[in-house]
Structure 1
């Protein structure tokens, strides 16, 4: 905190700690339900599996249906304009997978996925093309950054309101391509300070009218303002429209717009006027002496101010590095960092977890920080529960690190966080249940080894690499895992790998590629020889 206190003197925006999240389920509960593994479920899975290719190959928008009568399923897929076919397909595939997992028997559901680009997947048992029914524009899902803006708030709100107003106008305007994702879409930015921009993205489904799009986006902006006007970013999603703003670029949406250039740090030097030489009179000599002394005084003052500012910046930087090294043996991810949002996370009561795990009776495995148990929630969903056994300050940091990081991440090759629980010294993390457990369990089990043919091994290697590549290149912010090993690669029912255990992960700045680690982290036998020699 001392580091932030020093740097806040020079910053326009002060990030204040705090946790806030308002979220809603995207599985619609006010319609009828279907029977799992029945005809409707089969049709749902079939049309969702075809969405990635259909959407990516048809200008980023696809709407279709499959089945007959009461088992008919309507589905929509949409990516933002100029997404690459690969990014669009991967995004649609990930969103569809989430809906199949989360919405176990709801006939209506939708989800806006944020990575590797922005996309929408929606399905229903009734046709919804061109529809903006009442339930579709009511608040459904709102997520906000936990950091707040604590200085120059009035100026910030003026700039923010102007940006959102003109973005709504541009996004809701109809274009000549009503069946393309380019219809009802806009990205824009505004200068907040010399070194900071505000970025905004708005999109409606292209099949609704301009008035319906404008109404939906206006509601989203007003709802965000009413609950979270002082926060440093967030988004509001509905089945027909999406609004997001941040202090950094996101979803690969700003690559093709011209960003503001950084103005010069100091004005160009003024040129002295050329005066014809003439013999000065006595009065002129006196005036010249007076003017010269005035000029010298002004130069001295300017020099002192400039030198003072430079010295202040240097001292702040030195002290910041000093406190960072002394107080933090590794950079923990705190709840008030820009870009860290509480996404799809839920704090469970400890009693609920006890009941779900039958008082922690079915153990799946254990690691250096605790044990993992199998459980079942009241709605029938199977879960994996990590119960931390250590009570040290380091374990508390790792718990917070993991909860915040995994809640932020969305990728099919990263384990998904369902929630957490804290009661006294008890710290619980709830994950999706993966029936094939970890890779090391299969590798070192004589009876399971035979299941890993080369096709499955290649699939596990590729999926793990994609998950790590996402952390290093596409995640906002960049994350280094620091404990990648077979025990931290979990496998689902189809042997798809998911990277887990982010307790010792480290966050990097957007342009940072190197960091100094005072203490070694992770499992010793998986570290490099140079690190092992220092332990």
Structure 2
């Protein structure tokens, strides 16, 4: 697969007492560029400025729209994770849209998964991408701290959680109007006082097969490079994966963590 030339704005800030901000924008250069104040530039500004209200009008569900005529037509999508308030969703979409104008000044395609104040998704392009399972370009962010417990045991629990969640997300009803379509947040107990928290989402226009493949690839990529780290994010144009050792993105308010298995009994002679 041809490697894309990327201009990525990456920021991964982890604060020990539980607050976190994750933001990544990827502006693709090999899809072409446009001139400032051109028809495409005007259309991009128009559709991005209307995106927050259009997404919140859909109650944060997947919004897919376009504006203009070919070859200056701009396609854009946006959505927020289930449970987001209208205010948080609008703020998240607006933040991503504003940063596109600043950080992607003349790229005809870009995507973003901002994580603050909630998790949302925004993408625009000069070609329609509805139903397209796009794995590239990929952004991978990781915590700088290593796992300080039994890595073998941790890996077993982590891989089990990833497999369970991938199955849950990919088998969800494939309709963009479904509030929980291709989305899940879950957790697994490491110890009586420490848990893994993970979130997965695909764009609702993907088939179950494409969603599963996208998330499996993201989990494999993370495990291959950074399996010893204490948290991380893998972002693609079509899917998102994040896990950490604390809650984030207001995604875990209703999550009940199962108790870890009991320690084996030791016979004392």
Q: Which secondary structure does the structure 2 equivalent of 1:27 belong to?
A: strand
2:174–2:208 CA contact under 8 A, matched in 1: no
Which residue of structure 2 lines up, in the alignment, with residue 79 of structure 1? 80
More helix by proportion, 1 or 2? 1
Give 1:65's aligned residue: 66
The Cα of 1:45 is off from its aligned counterpart by 0.7
* Structure-2 separation of matches of 1:261 and 1:230: 23
Task: Determine which structure has more spread, i.e. the larger CA radius of gyration.
Answer: 1
Cα distance 1:94–1:181, how it changes in 2: closer, same or farther (>3 A)? farther
Structure 1: which 4+ aligned runs deviate by more than 6 Å?
A: none
Residue aligning to 1:99: 100
State the distance in 2 between where 1:25 and 1:89 align.
18
Give the conservation status (yes or no) of the 8 Å contact 1:79–1:181: no
Aligned 8 A contact 1:130 1:207 in 2: yes
Instruction: State the Cα deviation string for residues 131-177 of structure 1 (Å, max 9, x = none).
Output: 12xxx213510000000013311100000000011010001113164
Distance in 2 separating the partners of 1:156 and 1:193: 10
Q: In the TM superposition, what whole-angstrom CA distance separates every residue of 1:240-276 from its partner, at most 9, and x where no partner exists?
A: 100000000000011122245799xxxxxxxxxxxxx
Corresponding residue for residue 185 of structure 1? 183
CA contact (8 A) 2:174 2:204 kept: no
The 1-side partners of 2:221 and 2:100 are apart by 25
- Which ranges in structure 1 are unaligned for 5 or more consecutive residues? 1-22, 264-535
Compute the displacement of 1:205 (Å): 0.3
Q: Which residue of 2 aligns with 1:141?
A: 139
1:182 positional shift? 1.9
Unaligned runs of 5+ in 2: 1-22, 262-269
Residue 219 (1) aligns with residue 220 (2)? no
The residue aligned with 1:199 is 197
| CA gap 1:125/1:230 in 2 versus in 1, 3 angstroms | same
Q: Secondary structure at the match of 2:32?
A: coil
Q: In the alignment, which residue of structure 1 is the partner of 2:56?
A: 56
Q: Please tell me whether residue 228 in structure 1 is matched to residue 229 in structure 2.
A: no
Distance 2:250 2:143 in 1: 19
Alignment CA distance shift 1:142-1:131 (3 Å): same
**Does the CA-based 8 Å contact 2:72-2:126 persist in structure 1?**
yes
- Report the equivalent of 1:241: 239
Larger % of strand: which? 2
> Do the aligned partners of 1:182 and 1:206 also contact (CA within 8 Å) in 2?
no
* Secondary structure of the corresponding residue to residue 241 of structure 2: strand
CA distance in 1, matches of 2:84, 2:149: 36
Q: Which has the higher contact order (CA 8 A, sep 6+)?
A: 2
CA distance 1:150–1:176, shift in 2 (3 Å): closer
**What is the match of residue 166 of structure 1?**
164
TM-fit CA distance, 1:100: 1.1
SS of residue matched to 2:196? strand
User: How do 1:35-54 and structure 2 match up within 5 A?
Assistant: 35-54=35-54
- Partner Cα distance (2:198, 2:44) in 1: 33
Contact kept in structure 2, 1:109 and 1:123, CA below 8 Å: yes
> 1 CA distance for matches of 2:26 and 2:53?
23
CA distance in 1, matches of 2:57, 2:236: 24
**Which residue number in structure 1 is paired with residue 206 of structure 2?**
208
**TM-score when normalising by structure 1:** 0.43
Compute the TM-score of the two structures, normalised by the length of structure 2: 0.84
